[in-house]
Structure 1
Amino acid sequence: MAQTQIEVNGRPYAVGCEDGQEAHLQELAKMFDRQVRHVSADMGQLGDTRLFLMGALLLADELADARARLNGLQAEVARLQAERARFESRAVAALETAAKKIEKLAENDLAA
């Protein structure tokens, strides 16, 4: 297990993580730090526990919004895929009908 140093609200913290995940953890800490600093700017110094709680809640809210958008987009993709399948089925049916008509015309020309 690796250990890395992060900073939140101007204070350093030593945090453990999986080997190779240090840079990712530091980026996550930067996101969290931005939220905490935003809360601090809006509400003043509340103490680390409250600042961290508010920062975590803001990030959780963003995550919930992102999940809702993702679910909506996944539903739209599924709808579009079903629509494409219907169009493809219609196109195949139209091509089959056209092929049968062409075959019938060819048979009539050969018979004439």
Structure 2
Amino acid sequence: MATVMVNIDGKTYRMACDKGQEEHLAGLAGRFDHYIGHLKSSFGEIGDHRLSVMAGIMVMDEMSEMERRFAALEEEIKILRQERDTRSTASTEHEKSLAATLENITQRLIVMASRITPKS
């Protein structure tokens, strides 16, 4: 386990994390500190606990919106894949139909050519 010292609202906290995650944890703490600073500038000194709760709710609200957008994108991807597969199937069927038509035309041309060609 590694430890990181982070500053939130002017206070230093020692946090534990997995090795290699120190920079990530420090970045998260910095982002959370930004929320706290924003709330303090909007509401003034309303208490550390209330600020933390409000910042946590803001983060959860953003996460909820991201989850909603992610689910919508997943659904859109699902629809696009279905459309692609439908088009691919239709294209394959169309290609088979064209190949059959060309084969039919080729056979008719062979028959017609054999009628026209003089026999020796």
TM-score (norm 2): 0.90
- Give, in whole Å, the separation in 2 of the partners of 1:46 and 1:78: 46
1:28 and 1:78 map into 2 onto residues whose CA distance is 32
Structure 2 unaligned segments of length 5 or more: list them: 113-120
Structure 1 CA distance for aligned equivalents of residues 24 and 37 of structure 2: 20
1:42-79 deviation line (CA, Å, top 9, x unaligned):
11112211111111110010000000000001101100
- Deviation of the 1:24 alpha carbon: 0.3
Letter of the 1:5 partner, please give it. Answer: M
Tell me which amino acid in the other structure corresponds to 2:55: G
- TM-score, scaled to structure 1: 0.97
CA distance in 2, matches of 1:96, 1:41: 68
**Which 4+ runs in 1 deviate beyond 6 A?**
none
- Listed as ranges, the matches of 1:1-112 within 5 Å are 1-112=1-112
42-51 or 54-63, larger mean C-alpha shift: 42-51
CA distance in 2 between counterparts of 1:95 and 1:64 reads 46
Q: Quote how far apart the aligned CAs of 1:36 are.
A: 0.8
The separation in 1 between residues aligned to 2:33 and 2:98, in whole angstroms, is: 65
Q: d(CA) in 2 for partners of 1:57 and 1:43?
A: 15
Kindly, what percent of the aligned residue pairs are identical? 28
Aligned residues: 112
Letter in 1 for 2:44: G
Which structure would you say has the larger Rg? Answer: 2
Mark the runs of 5 or more structure 1 residues left unpaired by the alignment: none
Query: Given residue 79 of structure 2, which amino acid in structure 1 is its aligned partner?
Result: R
User: Which amino acid letter does the alignment assign opposite residue 7 of structure 2?
Assistant: E
